[in-house]
A and B are shown apart, each in its own frame.
Chain A
Amino acid sequence: MAGTAEAQKQIAEVTGDYKYGFVTDIDMDMAPKGLSEDVIRFISAKKEEPAWMLEWRLKAYRAWLKMDEPDWAKVSFPKIDYQDAYYFAAPKKKDGPKSLDEVDPELLATYAKLGIPIREQEVLAGVQGSAKVAVDAVFDSVSVATTFREELKKAGVIFMSISEAIREYPEMVKKYLATVVPVRDNYFAALNCAVFTDGTFVYVPKGVRCPMELSTYFRINAENTGQFERTLIVADEGSYVSYLEGCTAPMRDENQLHAAVVELIALDDAEIKYSTVQNWYPGDKEGKGGIYNFVTKRALCKGKNSKVSWTQVETGSAVTWKYPSCILAGEGSVGEFYSVAVTNNYQQADTGTKMIHMAPNTRSTIISKGISAGKSQNTYRGLVKVLSGAENVRNYTQCDSLLVSSESGAHTVPYIEVKNPTAQIEHEATTSKISEDQMFYCRARGLGEEEAVAMIVNGFCKEVMQHLPMEFAVEAQKLLGISLEGSVG
């Protein structure tokens, strides 16, 4: 991400393999520990929500109580005690920052250390030639700053924290919230509905091409706290928006839960490009600590010829359970999923996508690259489904796995379900290890072992990386190298 040279340097100074593992010492407002209707009332009150929102949350909570944790993914972890966590943690605010100048300097320092430009002038003074990026910074349970709001407003783009949107644009939120991921969709989504604290709301009006990249940067800081963010992006007819998401957390011995819900809605001819670089704390070399990343991301390509493109680079988290999906309901709509998932040490990732072709002439592309190192388990799980009314559907899927260690696992579980004869579905998958010839060739040109692995892995991931916005791609490439450190030998 476009950071100042200073910020980059500060990152470099934070030593250790995981460069974002520091803790910010700041006064926090916390909900009482545990989960109950009272805690939900507390969260809703803290966020000054309207009554309908509280009712909605309580309904979701009651539904969640009756649901079971999913057990079909190829991941295992000790049973989560949902009463042993905090569901709300926010930096104490005086009166709430009215402008960016009033944001707590401690927070600004934190984001600077992470290389995230919170001050607009820093963005402008950033690395030369870098594009302008508007940032919503979410710190534990609340959004602490949103940049470039005024400039975006001029273009008609609404970019704000979802808490604000619930207060300021209740009708719009009501209209779209949980229309893509229903409250009862799955265990973690239901939990999110009950306790979600903050996240980002974006609305791009008809015919508008969003003038800059939008991004949200998620930071878990407080101990024993879950983060439950909620993102809702609506792209109206003929609009375009590119949205980036990044995340980090301190190194802690206990596991922390991150259960987000992201909903995207693209109307006629609209396009949403959603990029994620997921770098939650993965736990230490012995598999202690790390984030449980249980996320539901889904896009509804509602309009004709709409398009949603998911790109993700997943290097962090102890356990990942995540399937960014597209429901292709608009005729001629397009869904894309480009993914790189790297697992090292004891990390477990079960990730992939669902492409549900409901309408004629819909197309989807899936490119997934999994890299397994250490003692990790890395699974691609995907579904391509063609309903009977969907004529002339096209899908191309390619899943490649690269094994870097003999103690890791690479698994591919694709489902293909076709109910229309005019569909053309192609799926290819390969699993292999890094070739010894390639390694020797690189080393015979002077590259060290880890450098050679990083270079070959980056080449292996090229098809995915090129879909990331420039600023992210550079960062992501470095991240791949860092994630694989210590995996050779």
Chain B
Amino acid sequence: MLNIKDLHVSVGDKEIVKGLNLEIKAGETHAIMGLNGAGKSTLAAAIAGRDDYEVTSGSIEFGGKDMLALEPHERVGEGLFLGFQYPVEIPGVSNLNFLRTALNSVRKYRGEAEMSAAEFMKLVREKAKALNMDPEMLKRFVNVGFSGGEKKRNEMVQMAVLDPKLAILDETDSGLDIDALKTVAEGINTQRRKDTAILLITHYQRLLSYVQPDVVHVMIDGRIVKSGGKELALELEEKGYADVA
């Protein structure tokens, strides 16, 4: 599903991802672990196509398509979802309006008809309920005045509504209390199917007790230096990055 080969990414003059290879197949859940500054978030941003994150060489293929040739929103149309470490506030734009516009843009990209207002409301209410989100939150402006946990929960609702093939979740577990963490984990697990894949980016093992990955990668200084099963995460927690790598 996702195939990254020898990826190099620079921000400004600084190279941050330095020759990274990664393959994720449908039905798999991968976790990339690493310390701050290892290049994890840069990798996520580059896959999603953020401006200023310049891919200097290498390739990113997703569903057989060259992602680097596509605009960020087109990548979403192809089935990619990026969960933000720090979800952005957009004053004046309600969650509902935002989600509906997003969903219909994606459907339009795929040549599907717009979803009617009634259908959409049904879908959103259902997903919000499943993730224990107060329906009132849907009427509020996107992330404005949300607590850290509420923002992450909101990301999960967006993911559920957009139903991506591949969800990349960047530090989605950071700053959450245990209840919020469980809700987020539930959201991720619901999204795990035979035809979907998940890429978790984290530097703690905590989330991985609730979402069991198939493959764990260790990222240091812009490269994946070691890959293994879920036991690798535990080993990292015990011995620290220096020893494992």
Evaluate whether A444 and B91 lie within 8 angstroms (CB atoms) in the complex, with A451-B101, A459-B141 already known: no
**Which residues of chain A from 406 to 435 have any CB-CB distance to chain B below 8 Å in the complex?**
435
What total count of A-B pairs have CB within 8 Å?
83
Q: Is B67 an interface residue (CB 8 A)?
A: no
Q: With a CB–CB cut-off of 8 A, which chain A residues contact B49?
A: 443
Say whether A461 faces chain B, with CB atoms less than 8 Å apart.
yes
Say whether B211 faces chain A, with CB atoms less than 8 Å apart: no
CB <8 Å contact, A447 and B101: yes
Report the minimum CB–CB distance from A59 to chain B (whole Å).
48
Shortest Cβ gap from B173 to chain A (Å): 19
B71/A449 in contact, CB under 8 A: yes
Task: Say whether B91 contacts A459, CB under 8 Å.
Answer: yes
Say yes or no for A130: interface residue by CB 8 A criterion: no
| Binary interface encoding of chain A residues 443-459 relative to chain B, with 1 for a CB under 8 A from any of its CBs, else 0 | 11111110110011011
Taking a contact as CB atoms under 8 Å apart, the answer to whether B92 and A462 are in contact is: yes
B1 at the interface (CB under 8 A from A): no
Given contacts A444-B82, A445-B98, A446-B109, contact A438 B90 (CB under 8 A): yes
Chain B residue numbers with a CB within 8 Å of A448 are 71, 73, 105
B99 contact set on A, CB distance < 8 A: 445
A168 within 8 A of B: no
Residue in A closest to B50 when the chains form the complex, CB atoms: A440
Using A445-B158, A447-B105, A448-B73 as known contacts, say yes or no to A438 and B92 having CB atoms under 8 A apart.
Answer: no
Residues of B within 8 A of A (CB): 48-52, 71-73, 76-77, 81-82, 84, 87-93, 97-99, 101-103, 105-106, 109, 141-142, 158, 162
Instruction: Tell me which of B51, B52, B92, B101 has the highest count of chain A C-beta atoms within 10 A of its own C-beta.
Output: B92
CA gap between A441 and B162 in the complex, in Å:
14
Q: Is the CB of B101 within 8 A of A462?
A: no
Q: Which residues of B contact A463 (CB under 8 A)?
A: 92
Q: Is A442 an interface residue (CB 8 A)?
A: yes
CA distance A443 to B92 in the complex (A): 17
| Beta-carbon contact of B92 and A447 below 8 Å | no
- For B90, list chain A residues within 8 Å (CB): 438, 441-442, 455-456, 459
Instruction: Tell me the A residues contacting B by CB distance below 8 Å.
Output: 435-438, 440-449, 451-452, 455-456, 458-463
- With both chains docked as a complex, state the minimum distance between the C-beta of B18 and any C-beta of chain A, in angstroms: 23
A460–B84 touching, CB < 8 Å: no
Residues of A within 8 A of B77 (CB): 446
Q: Are A443 and B73 in contact (CB under 8 A)?
A: yes
CB–CB B72/A443 < 8 A: yes
Give CA–CA (A365, B84) in the complex, Å: 37
> Are B88 and A447 in touch, CB under 8 angstroms?
no
User: Pick the contact of B71 from A442, A443, A456, A460 — CB < 8 Å?
Assistant: A443
A455 vs B98: C-alpha distance when bound (angstroms):
8
CB distance from B80 to the nearest CB of A (A): 8
Q: Which B-chain residue is minimally distant from A439 (CB atoms)?
A: B51
Closest to B93 in A: A459
Chain B positions within 8 Å of A460 at CB level: 91-92
- Point out the residues of chain B lying under 8 angstroms from A458, CB to CB: 92-93
- Return the chain A residue nearest B45 by Cβ: A440
Instruction: Give CA–CA (A460, B92) in the complex, Å.
Output: 6
**A444 contacts B72, CB within 8 Å?**
yes
**Interface pair B162/A445, CB less than 8 Å apart:** yes
Residues of A contacting B158 in the complex (Cβ-Cβ under 8 angstroms): 445
Question: A440-B72, A445-B102, A459-B93 known; 18 other A-B pairs, CB under 8 Å?
Answer: A436-B51, A437-B88, A441-B90, A442-B102, A443-B49, A443-B73, A444-B48, A444-B73, A444-B82, A445-B73, A445-B98, A445-B158, A446-B109, A446-B162, A447-B101, A449-B71, A455-B97, A455-B101
Q: Which residues of B contact A436 (CB under 8 A)?
A: 51-52
List chain B residues, Cβ under 8 A from A449. 71, 73
Residue contact B84 to A441, C-beta cutoff 8 Å:
yes
Residues of chain B with a CB closer than 8 A to A461's CB = 92
Q: What are 9 A-B pairs at a CB distance below 8 A?
A: A440-B72, A443-B76, A444-B48, A445-B73, A446-B76, A446-B105, A448-B73, A448-B105, A451-B101
Contact status of A438 and B88, CB under 8 A, knowing A446-B77, A448-B73: yes
Residues of B within 8 A of A451 (CB): 73, 101, 105
**CA–CA, A185 and B73, complex, Å:** 53
